[in-house]
């Protein structure tokens, strides 16, 4: 049986009481027979990374649940809680108004943390900040050392750390201090794998905010956009700000490569020079010219970052074919219209979505787009599809209106097989109707 799982009552979707979608309702899981192996599977199923310590459950919101489950016996290697032993249903017991004696709560550390270095000379040095629970916050310098800094540099694709900077070097931040007492071995691929005190748990002030200085050979840490979706002025996000791309030497083949990179189909206009729409207008790129064999626009020759000879009236603008207007979405092979294998229609052809990087934030966007209520689970149990695999490496924040508004590989570009086709289960609470 496939169980939807969520963590409820906490400050984010990766922290709180463990609840399982059972008999068309959410049931809590009792502490009896629950183990760290079970929690590892929950974190994996939710796309919330690595299980960490059990927090103080008294901080979570109380509930009036009357059904609890127990008896999940996982090995720790399963992808879904439904692959573990089948649970038993129990009547919940409340002790002194608290669930902490009978229901288990864990929080997970997301695998894909958004990091940035601010107030430095570039994107590879500065005060370390982490995006969590909807806002940017800092990291305290308690126990911070070079192995921790090395993990940050590697995750930001800035190669190795030169030094773990003392807090005063980049000044104090503001808002939350998200992490304290971070301990990395130095070989981790992400800061999410390192141990820490827990989200927001610290005894620090912002004067202790940690900084990092990397060697600075950035591989890729940029974002592209056209100002009107799939048409308009070409802009790039670099060094923590949006800037323009100059039209100098940009030909139609180069513009077409940008259309492809943006998932906007093919070029349908000449490259024009326009007056920049940005108030503060750094010109990040100039003399971009692709030769045609590059796999990505970032392999095309150009002037160094920030070096240019253009003015505000010479920024590049062009129009692409907006393929998003021709896209459609459906779920097939499930019990109803709100569960099944995810399929996308482009032109007259339906195709599938690969499960690389597929997680609950992607599922949330699918459920919302189809007006199918809330996400329950990200499944691979609906069988493989046929034909084209349209999308791969989809990474949504969970707020997008359409699945194709999320970050993804260019349409049709993947290294997947249909056995990896992604599926979803939604609650079906809104307009979802049962199929005949």
- For residue 279, give both structure tokens: 């108030």
The mean pLDDT of 75-98, rounded to a whole number, is 70
Query: Binning pLDDT at 50, 70 and 90, where does residue 423 land?
Result: very high
108 versus 228: the higher-pLDDT residue is: 228
> Hey, do 4-109 and 223-321 end up sharing a CATH topology, with the first three levels equal?
yes
* Superfamily of segment(s) 223-321: SRCR-like domain (3.10.250.10)
Write the CATH number of the domain with boundaries 324-426.
3.10.250.10
| Fold of the domain built from segment(s) 4-109 | Mac-2 Binding Protein (3.10.250)
**pLDDT for the residue 275:** 92
pLDDT (mean) for 373-402 = 86
Which H, E and C letters describe the chain, residue by residue? CCCEEEEEECCCCCEEEEEEEECCEEEEEECCCCCHHHHHHHHHHHCCCEECCCCCHHHCCCCCCCEEEECCCCCCCCCCHHHCCCCEEEECCCECCECCCCECEEEEECCCCEEEEEEEEECCEEEEEEEECCEEEEEECCCCCHHHHHHHHHHCCCCCEEEEECHHHCCCCCCCEEECCCECCCCCCCHHHCECCCCCCCCCCHHHECEEEECCCCCCCCEEEECCECEEEEEEEECCEEEEEECCCCCHHHHHHHHHHCCCCCECCCCEEECCCCCCCCEEECCCCCCCCCCCHHHCCCCCCCCCCCCCCCEEEEEECCHHHHEEEEEEECCCCCEEEEEEEECCEEEEEECCCCCHHHHHHHHHHCCCCCEEEEECCCCCCCCCEEECCCECCCCCCCHHHCECCCCCCCCCCHHHECEEEECCCCCCCCCC
Query: Strands 241-245, 283-285: parallel, antiparallel or unpaired by DSSP?
Result: parallel
Domain 114-214: top CATH class: alpha beta
At 143, list the tokens: 């126990």
What is the pLDDT averaged over residues 259-287? 86
Question: How many other C-beta atoms lie within 10 A of the C-beta of residue 149?
Answer: 24
Closest among 426, 416, 365 to 395, alpha carbons compared: 365
Smallest CA-to-CA distance from 155 within 199, 124, 196, 134 is with 124
**CB-CB contact of 231 with 322 (8 Å):** yes
Q: What pTM did the predictor assign? A: 0.43
Greatest mean pLDDT among 182-191, 194-203, 253-262 lies in 253-262
Q: What is the pLDDT of residues 354-371, one digit of tens each?
A: 998 898 889 999 999 999
- Can you tell me the distance from the alpha carbon of 370 to that of 334, in angstroms, rounded to the nearest whole number? 14
Among candidates 214, 204, 229, 211, which has minimal Cα distance to 168? 211
| Rounded distance between C-alpha atoms, residue 149 and residue 170, angstroms | 15
Average pLDDT estimate for 339-354 = 91
Q: What percent of the chain has pLDDT over 70?
A: 81
Delimit the domains of the chain by residue range. Answer: 4-109, 114-214, 223-321, 324-426
CB-based burial of residue 293 (10 Å sphere; 0-12 exposed, 13-18 middle, 19+ buried)? exposed
């Amino acid at each position: 049986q496939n169980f939807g799982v969520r963590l409820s009552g906490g400050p984010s979707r990766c922290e709180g009481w463990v609840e399982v979608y059972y008999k068309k309702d959410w049931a809590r899981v009792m502490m009896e027979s629950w183990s760290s192996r079970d929690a590892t599977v929950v974190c994996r199923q939710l796309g919330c990374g690595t299980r960490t310590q059990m927090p103080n459950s008294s901080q979570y919101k109380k509930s009036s649940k009357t059904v609890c489950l127990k008896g999940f016996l996982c090995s720790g290697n399963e992808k879904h809680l439904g692959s573990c032993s089948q649970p038993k249903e129990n009547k919940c017991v409340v002790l002194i108004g608290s669930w902490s004696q009978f229901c288990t709560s864990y929080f997970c550390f997301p695998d894909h943390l958004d990091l940035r270095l601010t107030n430095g000379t570039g994107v590879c040095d500065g005060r370390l900040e982490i995006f969590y629970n909807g806002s940017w916050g800092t990291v305290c310098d308690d126990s911070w050392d070079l192995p921790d800094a090395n993990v940050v540099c590697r995750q930001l694709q800035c190669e190795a750390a030169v030094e773990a900077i003392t807090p005063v070097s980049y000044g104090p931040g503001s808002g939350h201090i998200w992490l304290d007492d971070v301990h990395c071995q130095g070989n981790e691929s992400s800061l999410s794998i390192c141990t820490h005190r827990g989200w927001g748990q610290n005894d620090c002030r912002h004067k202790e905010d940690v900084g990092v200085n990397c060697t600075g050979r950035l591989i890729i840490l940029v974002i592209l956009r056209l100002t009107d979706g799939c048409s308009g002025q070409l802009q790039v996000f670099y060094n923590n700000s949006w800037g323009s791309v100059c039209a100098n030497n940009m030909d139609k083949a180069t513009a077409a490569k940008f259309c492809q990179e943006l998932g906007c189909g093919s070029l349908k206009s000449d490259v024009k020079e326009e007056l920049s729409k940005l108030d503060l207008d750094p010109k990040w790129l100039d003399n971009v010219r692709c030769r045609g064999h590059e796999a990505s626009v970032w392999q095309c020759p150009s002037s160094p970052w920030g070096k240019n000879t253009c003015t505000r009236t010479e920024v590049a603008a062009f129009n692409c074919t907006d393929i998003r207007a021709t896209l459609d979405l459906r779920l097939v092979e499930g019990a109803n219209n709100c569960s099944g294998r995810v399929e996308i229609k482009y032109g007259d052809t339906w195709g599938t979505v690969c499960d690389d990087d597929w997680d609950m934030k992607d599922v949330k966007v699918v459920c919302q787009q189809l007006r199918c209520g809330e996400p329950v689970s990200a499944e691979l149990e609906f069988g493989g599809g046929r034909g084209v695999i349209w999308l791969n490496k989809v990474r949504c924040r969970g707020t997008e209106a359409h699945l194709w508004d999320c970050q993804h590989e260019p349409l049709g570009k993947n290294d997947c097989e249909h056995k990896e086709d992604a599926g979803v289960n939604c609650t079906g609470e809104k307009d979802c109707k049962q199929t005949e």
